[in-house]
Each structure stands twice: as C-alpha cells, then as structure tokens.
Amino acid sequence: MNIQVSYDENSRMVLSGLSCGCGSEHRQMDKDIYVGKGLLPRVPEMIRRRGLGLHCVLVADDTTYALAGRTVHEALAADGFTVVPCVIHREEDVLPDDSACGEVLLSITRDTEFLISVGSGSLTDTTRINAERTGLPFVAVGTAPSMDGYTSAVAPLLHRGVKIQRPAVCPEIIVCDLDIFATAPMPMIASGVGDVLGKYIAIADWRLGEIINGEVYCPLCGELVMNAVNALVENVDEIAVKSEKGIRILTEALLLAGVTIMLIGHTRAVASIEHNIAQYWEMILVQRGVRPPMHGASVGVATLLVWPLFERFAHEDLSGLDIEAIKARRLSRERRAEWMRHAFGAEGGEQIMRDNPEDFLSWEEQLRRIRAAQSRIDDIRAVLRSLPPRETIRRVLQTLNGDLTPQDEQIPEDLLNLSMWCGKDYRTRYTLFKTIDECGLADDYLSAWPYRMPG
C-alpha cells in the first residue's frame, strides 16, 4: 500500500493510493479539509466552491472570536454573505451544554443556510449537534490542534449535567490554519498529542479483534494512522517549538485519524480502551461537579497507564490456564448487570447493556475466545511487540510538559481503580483488557488497582 497525503493549489487535502482489499466498504472522502497558512481570509471562496449558500450563523466564544472569528466574519461580510454571529460569553471555557446548544439554536432562523463554528472541541460539538438537528451543513474553522474531533460525526455533550454522546454530522469543510494553530497554548498542543498517541493502543486492539473475533482489520486505515502517529513521535521537538512543520504534522495526525472514520464508517482506528478510560474519568468527574482535564490530555495519560499491560502480555504464555477455575469464577448475568449499574450508574449501566447486548458472553463463547487466544498467542505477541517502548511515548508527552500520570490530572484513586476494571465494559469493542478478563487474568494484571464491588 502506498498512501499519499498531498494538497492541491487551494491547500485542500488530497488522498491518493487508497486502494484496499480488506473486505470492508470504503467510501470516498467527500469533505473538504484545508490545512495551510493564511487560510482565514479564504474561507468565503471555500464556502462558495462547496455551494453552501450565503446566510450563516457563526458560532464562537470571546477567545476564538478574537483569535479567528472576527477575521472570518469580516471576510464573509465583505464577500456578500449575511452573517449572524453567535458569540457565547462565559467566565470559563465554554462547555457543550444545554445552554450553549440552545444559544446556537436560537440564533438560527428560517433564512440560515449553513453554520460555521470557530473553535476547538466544545464549540465544534455545540455547532455539530445543531447542524444535525436542523439539517444544515456546517463549516468547522479550527483554532487549536487539541483533539481529533474535527472530523467526527458524534457529539459529546453535557445534558443536564450528564455527559452524553449523540450522533451528529461531520463538517462539510474543515479549515486548519497553521498560523492560528501555532498560537495555541502548550497544554492544548500536548492534549492533541495525547489524543494521537492513543492510536497505538486503538490499532493494537483492532488487530487483536481480528485475531480473536475475526473482525475486519483495514490495513489501509491502519497504515494511514500509524504513519501519521509515527511522524508525530519522530518530530516532537518540532512540535515543542511550534514550528510550521511540527504543527502540520500534529494537525495531519489528528485529521487523518478522523479520515479513517469517513473511509470505513466506524471509529475502530481512533479509539479503544484508552478512550474508554479517559471518557469514564470525564463522565464521573462531571457527575461530581469537577471540571475534567482536557480530553486529549486524559487520553495520553490513559495510554501511558495501560501500556505496561500491553507490554506484559507480549510475554504471556496462555498454555497453563486453569479453564475450570475460570469458569467457576465467571460473573453470572445478574451479577454482571449489578456490576454495570455499579460502575456506570443505574441509568448508564442499563443503557450500555442495551447498546451492547452481545457483551455478556455465554461460557461457550468465552471458551472459544480463550482457545483462540491460546492457539494464536504468537500472532497476539507479534502485535504487542510491534508497539514502541513505553518510554518513547512518555518522553513525547514529557517534552511537551503534558500530563503523565492520573495524579497529574487529579484523578481520585477510587475513580482510577474502578476505571481500570470497567473501561473494557463501556462498549463491545474488543481490547486486550477483554482478553485479560476472559482468560481469568484480571486479578493478576490489575492488582495495582484493587477494586471490589461493594456487596
């Protein structure tokens, strides 16, 4: 395979060499992604090329309006567009909550033809859900390379104080102006890097899913993501000084992970156990009324946290498993339901079980998986041994002054320990954490994070 990422004369991303015989259906990338310098004044022509109309609502907060929103607004107005600004004022960072989503909704009129978000995660998601609900196309003008969600079609939101995910839509146009991105504060850049580093785990888990459960692994998407992640690791010094090269490499890594979602229609290449754990921290902290760390920063910390388990399993020998003992210690369906309600809350636990009905395994299925793991242990080891050493990953984050440990992020110990046990239960998606659990090795592998369900 020979994937090439290039740009046309308008700084629009062009992907070539996208042939793949993996068996899953591959769609064309049909969105316009622009990466380059001095792009903001050119946003009107990008919108005209795409024919989105002339009436828009521009969503920003005070910071992003000053940083980029005003320039885009003025360029559009000068080019004959009608722009209704929706600048959300908050004392602290804007959260994608009911109130912010409502402000955008009430700015939309019957004349509105498209929406523009100017910002990173929260503002994009606030706009994204409105675009989905109104059927209007939207344009995302990024302001920081802090997370990989620009290309996402799912909106993480806060509804009545509870963290929820809602299906939404991907922007028609994504604009990543490298001059603007280079002004992002270092913690936001470290967060973007953390989000990218998680892809090592996501890809490893995907390949394990292929080995154990016959999932279709797409080598094209795997290569696209791994090339981008490796380039980022090799160029961390460029990122640390925010050189154009460094910021471009980070931006591409964040975007290309999302491009795989467009190509194959799922997020397998993007997120696995490291995202589950990070999202769990965020969900519970929000419930406790605590402002959670940045998404990508938590993903980076969770990646470092789970890494030693992946390294250890690379030396695992499953030949001596005591099958009868594993069977005897299995959770019954009732006990597992109790665990799910305990870990995710009464409502959340029920919801996850409804969404992932096949996640409670019959003994026959568990035994099949154990046998598959035993017979393919060499393949499993090969996947795990292809990961770079943990120290390489740690050094990347350290170079950027990023968070390294759950303590750096003030994750309470009870939450940390529980997350290590329940992260795998967040969704059906196969992960090494399921292998460990299904092979009866969790007590051993997770002994550093003791947790027992009360009762």
The residue count for binding Zn ion (CB under 5 A) is 6
Contact 418, 345 (CB under 8 A): no
Q: Least distance (Å) from Zn ion to the CB of residue 348?
A: 20
The stretch near Zn ion (CB under 5 A) out of 18-26, 69-77, 244-252, 387-395 is: 18-26
Q: Least distance (Å) from Zn ion to the CB of residue 391?
A: 23
Q: Least distance (Å) from Zn ion to the CB of residue 387?
A: 19
Angle in degrees, CA 342, 426, 25, rounded to 5: 160
Between 9 and 25, whose beta carbon lies closer to Zn ion?
25
Between 46 and 168, whose beta carbon lies closer to Zn ion?
168
Q: Least distance (Å) from Zn ion to the CB of residue 88?
A: 23
Between 148 and 282, whose beta carbon lies closer to Zn ion?
148
Which amino acid does the sequence have at 287? Q
Give DSSP secondary structure letters for 7-33: E-TTSBEEEE-----SSS------SEE
Between 81 and 280, whose beta carbon lies closer to Zn ion?
280
Contact 310, 387 (CB under 8 A): yes
Find the helix or strand (DSSP H, E) in which 325 lies: helix 323-329
Between 73 and 424, whose beta carbon lies closer to Zn ion?
424
> Is 154 among the residues that bind Zn ion (CB under 5 A)?
no
How many whole angstroms separate alpha carbon 145 and alpha carbon 359?
Answer: 35
Residues whose CB is less than 8 angstroms from the CB of residue 347 and which lie 6 or more positions away in sequence, other chains included? none
The stretch near Zn ion (CB under 5 A) out of 2-10, 15-23, 246-254, 363-371 is: 15-23
The stretch near Zn ion (CB under 5 A) out of 115-123, 210-218, 320-328, 439-447 is: 210-218
Between 36 and 171, whose beta carbon lies closer to Zn ion?
171
State how far Cα 262 lies from the chain centre: 14
Q: Least distance (Å) from Zn ion to the CB of residue 379?
A: 19
Residues whose CB is less than 8 angstroms from the CB of residue 4 and which lie 6 or more positions away in sequence, other chains included? 15, 16, 17
The stretch near Zn ion (CB under 5 A) out of 154-162, 219-227, 301-309, 413-421 is: 219-227
Residue 175 DSSP SS3: strand
How many whole angstroms separate alpha carbon 203 and alpha carbon 6?
Answer: 24
> Is 210 among the residues that bind Zn ion (CB under 5 A)?
no
The stretch near Zn ion (CB under 5 A) out of 31-39, 111-119, 188-196, 309-317 is: 188-196
Q: Least distance (Å) from Zn ion to the CB of residue 58?
A: 25
Q: Least distance (Å) from Zn ion to the CB of residue 340?
A: 23
Q: Which of 57, 83, 220, 233 binds Zn ion (CB under 5 A)?
A: 220
Between 226 and 446, whose beta carbon lies closer to Zn ion?
226
Q: Least distance (Å) from Zn ion to the CB of residue 451?
A: 25
How many whole angstroms separate alpha carbon 165 and alpha carbon 184?
Answer: 26
Q: Least distance (Å) from Zn ion to the CB of residue 148?
A: 5
Closest CA to 101 of 133, 129, 121: 129
Q: Least distance (Å) from Zn ion to the CB of residue 57?
A: 26
Give DSSP secondary structure letters for 20-75: --SSS------SEEEEESS-GGGHHHHHHHHT--SEEEEEEEHHHIIIIIHHHHHH
Q: Which of 218, 236, 256, 353 binds Zn ion (CB under 5 A)?
A: 218
How many whole angstroms separate alpha carbon 443 and alpha carbon 155?
Answer: 35
DSSP state of 394: H
> Is 153 among the residues that bind Zn ion (CB under 5 A)?
no
Between 58 and 299, whose beta carbon lies closer to Zn ion?
299
Between 136 and 255, whose beta carbon lies closer to Zn ion?
255
For residues 130-149, which are near Zn ion according to CB under 5 A? 148
Closest CA to 117 of 98, 90, 140: 140
How many whole angstroms separate alpha carbon 289 and alpha carbon 191?
Answer: 22
Residue 288 DSSP SS3: coil
For residues 99-128, which are near Zn ion according to CB under 5 A? none
The stretch near Zn ion (CB under 5 A) out of 113-121, 194-202, 389-397, 429-437 is: 194-202
Burial of 377 (0-12, 13-18, 19+ CB in 10 A): middle
Q: Least distance (Å) from Zn ion to the CB of residue 26?
A: 6
Q: Which of 61, 132, 172, 195 binds Zn ion (CB under 5 A)?
A: 195
For residues 19-78, which are near Zn ion according to CB under 5 A? 20, 22
Contact 184, 144 (CB under 8 A): yes
Interacting residues with Zn ion (CB under 5 A): 20, 22, 148, 195, 218, 220
